[in-house]
Structure 1
Amino acid sequence: MLERAEWRSLNGEWDYAIRPAVGALVAESRPAHYDGRINVPFALETVASGVTRTLAADETLFYRRVVELPEAWAGSRVALNFEAVDHECVVWVDGRRVGSHQGGYLPFSFALPWHGGPVEVVVGVRDPGPDAGQQSGKQSDEPSGIWYTATSGIWQSVWMEPLPDNPITAVRAVVADTLDGFVVQAMTDRPCQLDVRVELPDGDSITTAGTSGAQLRLTLPQPRLWSPEDPYRYRLTVRTRDDEVRSWVGLRTVEIGPIPGAGRRQRPAVVLNGRPILLNTPLDQGYWPETGLTAPADEALVFDLLRMRELGFNGVRKHVKVESRRFYDHADRLGMLVVQDAVNGGKPRHSLRQSRFVMSLDLQFGDTSRHALTAAGRQHPQNRKIFESDLMGMIDLLSPHPSVICWSIFNEAWGQYQTNRIEAMVRVADPTRLVDAASGWHDQGGGDFRSRHRYVLKLRRPARRDRRPFFLSEFGGYNLVVDGHTWEVAGQYGYGTQADERLLDRALRRLYRDQLIPLVSHGLRGCIYTQVSDVETETNGLLTYDRQVLKPDAGLLRRLNAELHAAFDALGHASC
């Protein structure tokens, strides 16, 4: 994410109106008057928005705000930035259409001239709804269990910033193969000369010069690698004659490789900066009671990451959601690894009841036939094209973050199709990260892991014939309702209901010590406990939905995680 010195937040109260969706969104569609006030950036459905209303598929949501900008910006272009709007929108500024966007999870922006005076911004939004097959994650028109309330409209931050005549539009820094520096490429609207400066740990800096678009090599003396134990990032500044942006860069590598000293019979593992590690990253849905998909404040993002780190986990799996870029910046800064899911679209191939049989029998189905495409809601080429475009957009957006070490493409066959082809696309787009191609089921033989989900049933060893690292990419999910801290009085969902905290602790001890930890010697190289917190009526979180209560004993969970990592570390000290 590029930082400029000047910017103006547009979060706060906007006018809003809801009207029938008639025809295309054109200038004449804008309402003559508005219904009330809405609090941006919280989705229409949330309490924090001040509206708490569902947007129907045949309705249009309009936003309006008059913005006062600094007079010093007059005469320059300004960028109008949206971090996320769900799902389709058109933007007008002072009555002029400046652009449109489709897709609910990626940022976009429009550049426009400004000559002074107030600016009227109007945004028209339509949301066909999760059942239309668009990328929607856990959103549902009929929320219950593992499916949650829909999100419509602006749900991440909006801001404006001044732009010079020839702005820096992108900066990419790729870690050198020799791990001693970066290859930096900065893009501008038109070719120009620029300087790239990197600040060193001792306070000194190194600078190189070149042309925008060129690949510039920066070699670092005594390079300091990014890791969970030492999440050091280099400060990067790119400067042209009339623009300057800043960013952060982490120096690290991740791959699948052998565990030194473990013997040939042991499966390989995730290797970070040449050192084998065990992935231990609980499922993170990124929902909050009053604000839905939007974090109530920046501190809420930090709280979840710090709480998981304090409990002995080394990261999170961000589940079928692209979070605010602030989240990934905090994960970088705190040294928390991120397994990042693509946002699912299409439709689930199996009902929850059918999924239990798929999980228990480890059933495998192909995903390339016409029948498979229809079953996954992917029979239309345009639907597949949009998913692949969104997937590439997510990879491009998050590639600067060293905390993101693995892409997870499909989850439990939701919208899953042509997995091996999609995996190949991902590896071309980003050869520097791992890929969990099919999390849970249906495995197509690719990916860096044999990735399985297992709830309620006893954990099983992976098949010996498959030598990929075994990734238990969802498990646990023990259900405990804490009175006074639930989303609704009625309704709960989880896997294995526990009557109180004492029984939950006992269940976790047995799960870890009797089942999970023994799997390490049989190839377990990563695990994802479900989940960080309760979400709506799903009450199987380690934390309650309001984050006020930690259900298991903190000391117990730290000990269990320590024992898990100790079992993994012991593999390198004994031949097998």
Structure 2
Amino acid sequence: MLLSTWVLATLLTRASALATSNNKFFKRQNGTGYELKTGPLDTDWTAQVGTDPWPMYPRPQLERSDWKNLNGVWRYQNISKAEYDSPTFNLDSPQGVLVPFCLESALSGIMGSWLIYSAYETTFEIPADWSKDNRVLLNFGAVDYKAVVYVNRKKVGEEHVGGYFEFTHDITSFLQSGSNELHVYVYDPTDMDRVQIPLGKQSLHKDHIFYVPCSGIWQTVWLESAPKEYITNFHMDADMDGKVNITIGSSGNGSSPVEVTVYELDSDEAKATGSGTTGTAFQFTVDSPKLWSPKSPTLYNLTIKLGDDEVKSYTGFRTVSQAVVDGIPRPLLNGEFIFWMGTLDQGFWPDGIYLAPTYDAMVYDLQKLQDIGYNMLRKHIKVEPALFYYAADKMGIMLIQDMPSLRTRVPKADAKCGESQPVKDTESQLEFNRELEVMIKQQRNYPSIVAWVIYNEGWGQADQPPWPEFELTNVVKSLDPTRLVDSVTGWFDHGAGDFHDNHKYANPQCGTPYYSTPSTPYDGKRIGFQGEFGGIGHNVSVANLWKDPWAIDHINQTYEIDADLDAWNYRAHVLLSELLGQVERYACSGAVWTQTTDVEGEVNGMLTYDRRILRPNLDQWNNDLNALYKAAAARTNGTAMMMPRAETFDGM
């Protein structure tokens, strides 16, 4: 039963008073107190965070031994545009903030709103045992949306733009002996006014399918020590035949010798070694590797050496491709068609908003999806921390990675009564294109990622030709020819990419000869895919709800509400049975159920937003999902005619 707003307000007031009186999370650093806020909902991991969050090395694909985590309590202050443009570095009324949780989250200790301009401050010392001849690198996992970094009150590098992407500054020349000051100034407009930036599901305005935004530092900040010439990045493809193609970038301007070693499983014994020079692709072969797949997610450890620099990494050998099987286009993993079945994964948390409270909490979601029987998830218009992809790699969960979308529409310049228009901003389109390329380059080494999504349901997509998805599909395939591209998931589809992707609630229409607008009839030329369906809801008690009166009042906007879990599971069985018929009769190759968890006013998750209630009857869901996998396998007895693969990449 939905609670009335006044009853809910009373409960919230009492809960807030109780939580504040019992709050044990308080630490002083730099003379500033931090206190965990009481948000609209917590999780079982909220109380485990403390003031040393996310302590593990944050980038397992390029790991150095000498590093220092800077997460913890910093000083924070909301500032003006003038202060952002010309910092004085004087935080006259700072608050304690827990990095790396975004400023809107309870875990940050701020839990603010409309925080457009922000300033962070902390101090650090360089470990005494680090080589004095080395460079000191300052790394950020992600800061939303623009960030300018200052060390000892001097600007370091250029303003970083893009709320989802890691960046690094060499701060060696800015350091002093002993304590060093670090300031980070942030600008995050989200969807203020007519601003148009990649932002996914974030919004400053309450909406049933858009959520509390994330501003500021929201992934790990760390220092590391590296030689004068060091490895900056690498791009590696390890396929099912054991062929390795790799390009390694460095901080140097020339071509320097590099070496890559692949190790036997759980061993220090080298399985293969390849060598080349920085900036140029080179190849070598690993004999008879065990392949990565959901059934057997085998990973091999790597070391990459450039002079005195040595980093640890890992890879998985697998090939993603497509073929015509018995006349139907199919996605293949290691030459085999398996049905892709996953959830729409929003990646929001009630206590951390854009970041899970702990690594274990993040892994919990993935474990529950595997328990239900899913072999895939669609990471929905959000980019996660590197450790999320590492977990998916280890667990064997295929990922469809979305590009974070632009806004669906923007207000007209002379808007009256809420008038709006589609995106028609050349500058915004160019920035979207740039950040799409950044995402591909940052994420393309993870074996779990099997496909990229460019546009979701026309959000930020041009409404007239020339359709940008055709050129962007070519760009993605040039940067990464080793995966498939879902150019437009849902609508508006003009024929680009590898998928014909339909969205339909609640019933599926996957590769079928029938459809509902704004989707289009299945074209028979591309992979038939159900990018979203399901979405049936089940309301719960206030204990498990996002305790915001507006969100609770709008729960009935969920596609369908079922009175109890018996009804919810029955309806799920009906929908999955309908999908099964489409797999057996038509061209359906995969599907995405909406969604992994509830989020704020949405109650259609496998799990409630606090992760305390798991809705699926596991026996029933296991049987229904296994039936999909078996039906797909039964349709692949014919000969697979391979489709052409893009040319092998030859650079960064």
Q: CA deviation at 1:244?
A: 0.6
Q: Superposed, which structure 2 residues align to 1:190-339 within 5 Å?
A: 190=252, 191-201=255-265, 203=267, 204-205=269-270, 206-259=272-325, 263-264=326-327, 267-339=328-400
Deviations 1:447-491 (A, max 9, x none): 111101001456472446533221110000011112121112623
Residues 1:103 and 2:156 aligned together: no
Deviates more, 1:213-222 or 1:478-487: 213-222
Give the letter aligned to residue 414 of structure 1.
W
Give the letter aligned to residue 580 of structure 2.
I
Q: Superposed, which structure 2 residues align to 1:284-433 within 5 Å?
A: 284-348=345-409, 375-377=421-423, 379-417=424-462, 418-433=468-483
> Which residue does the alignment assign to 1:475?
533
Residues 1:80 and 2:135 aligned together: no
8 Å CA contact 2:329–2:528 kept in 1: the answer is: no
Give the letter aligned to residue 48 of structure 1.
L
Residues 1:44 and 2:90 aligned together: no
For residues 507 and 399 of structure 2, what CA distance do their matches in structure 1 show? 27
8 Å CA contact 1:74–1:115 kept in 2: the answer is: no
8 Å CA contact 1:25–1:90 kept in 2: the answer is: no
> Which residue does the alignment assign to 1:369?
none
421 and 332 in structure 1: CA distance in 2 versus 1, 3 angstrom threshold: same
Q: CA deviation at 1:433?
A: 0.6
Q: CA deviation at 1:77?
A: 2.0
Instruction: Provide the TM-score with structure 1 as the length reference.
Output: 0.90
Q: 2:204 aligns with which of 133, 137, 141?
A: 141
Q: CA deviation at 1:144?
A: 2.4
Q: Superposed, which structure 2 residues align to 1:18-37 within 5 Å?
A: 18-22=78-82, 25-28=85-88, 30-37=89-96
For residues 339 and 477 of structure 1, what CA distance do their matches in structure 2 show? 19
Residues 1:172 and 2:232 aligned together: no
8 Å CA contact 1:88–1:104 kept in 2: the answer is: yes
Q: SS at the partner of 2:601?
A: coil
Q: SS at the partner of 1:474?
A: strand
For residues 428 and 574 of structure 1, what CA distance do their matches in structure 2 show? 31
Q: CA deviation at 1:348?
A: 4.0
For residues 568 and 547 of structure 1, what CA distance do their matches in structure 2 show? 31
8 Å CA contact 1:376–1:413 kept in 2: the answer is: no
526 and 348 in structure 1: CA distance in 2 versus 1, 3 angstrom threshold: farther
For residues 526 and 86 of structure 2, what CA distance do their matches in structure 1 show? 53
Q: CA deviation at 1:573?
A: 4.5
Residues 1:69 and 2:126 aligned together: yes
8 Å CA contact 1:27–1:97 kept in 2: the answer is: no
Instruction: Provide the TM-score with structure 2 as the length reference.
Output: 0.80
For residues 568 and 414 of structure 1, what CA distance do their matches in structure 2 show? 32
For residues 477 and 220 of structure 1, what CA distance do their matches in structure 2 show? 44
For residues 127 and 410 of structure 1, what CA distance do their matches in structure 2 show? 22
Give the letter aligned to residue 63 of structure 2.
E
The percent of aligned pairs where both chains have the same amino acid is 34
For residues 202 and 17 of structure 1, what CA distance do their matches in structure 2 show? 47
8 Å CA contact 1:130–1:150 kept in 2: the answer is: no
Residues 1:187 and 2:237 aligned together: no
Deviations 1:14-50 (A, max 9, x none): 001112222762343x334242100111111111111
Aligned residues: 541
For residues 148 and 342 of structure 1, what CA distance do their matches in structure 2 show? 17
Q: CA deviation at 1:115?
A: 5.0
> Which residue does the alignment assign to 1:5?
65
Q: CA deviation at 1:169?
A: 1.2
8 Å CA contact 2:506–2:534 kept in 1: the answer is: yes
For residues 264 and 249 of structure 2, what CA distance do their matches in structure 1 show? 24
10 and 202 in structure 1: CA distance in 2 versus 1, 3 angstrom threshold: closer
Q: SS at the partner of 2:634?
A: helix
Q: SS at the partner of 2:544?
A: coil
216 and 414 in structure 1: CA distance in 2 versus 1, 3 angstrom threshold: same
Q: CA deviation at 1:421?
A: 1.6
Give the letter aligned to residue 97 of structure 1.
K
Give the letter aligned to residue 69 of structure 1.
I
Q: 1:563 aligns with which of 624, 627, 631?
A: 627
Residues 1:14 and 2:74 aligned together: yes
8 Å CA contact 1:501–1:551 kept in 2: the answer is: yes
8 Å CA contact 2:508–2:533 kept in 1: the answer is: no
Deviations 1:90-133 (A, max 9, x none): 11001110032111111111001145311110011111222411
For residues 457 and 175 of structure 1, what CA distance do their matches in structure 2 show? 38
Q: 2:602 aligns with which of 516, 530, 538?
A: 538
> Which residue does the alignment assign to 1:505?
569
8 Å CA contact 1:196–1:207 kept in 2: the answer is: yes
For residues 202 and 540 of structure 1, what CA distance do their matches in structure 2 show? 41
8 Å CA contact 2:500–2:523 kept in 1: the answer is: no
> Which residue does the alignment assign to 1:116?
177
Residues 1:434 and 2:484 aligned together: yes
464 and 303 in structure 1: CA distance in 2 versus 1, 3 angstrom threshold: closer
> Which residue does the alignment assign to 1:155?
218
Q: CA deviation at 1:55?
A: 3.1
8 Å CA contact 2:507–2:534 kept in 1: the answer is: no
For residues 410 and 571 of structure 2, what CA distance do their matches in structure 1 show? 31
Give the letter aligned to residue 290 of structure 1.
D
> Which residue does the alignment assign to 1:551?
615
562 and 349 in structure 1: CA distance in 2 versus 1, 3 angstrom threshold: farther
For residues 494 and 181 of structure 2, what CA distance do their matches in structure 1 show? 51
Q: SS at the partner of 2:561?
A: coil
Over aligned residue pairs, what C-alpha RMSD do you find?
2.0
8 Å CA contact 1:11–1:159 kept in 2: the answer is: yes
8 Å CA contact 1:133–1:347 kept in 2: the answer is: no
For residues 111 and 399 of structure 1, what CA distance do their matches in structure 2 show? 24
Q: CA deviation at 1:214?
A: 3.6
458 and 305 in structure 1: CA distance in 2 versus 1, 3 angstrom threshold: closer
Q: CA deviation at 1:238?
A: 1.2
Give the letter aligned to residue 453 of structure 2.
S
For residues 629 and 170 of structure 2, what CA distance do their matches in structure 1 show? 49
Q: SS at the partner of 1:437?
A: strand
For residues 410 and 189 of structure 2, what CA distance do their matches in structure 1 show? 21
Deviations 1:422-450 (A, max 9, x none): 11211111111111111011111121111
Q: CA deviation at 1:219?
A: 1.3
Contiguous gaps of at least 5 residues in structure 1:
351-373
For residues 545 and 216 of structure 2, what CA distance do their matches in structure 1 show? 26
Deviations 1:480-536 (A, max 9, x none): 1121211126231421100000110111111111x1110112111110000000011
115 and 95 in structure 1: CA distance in 2 versus 1, 3 angstrom threshold: closer
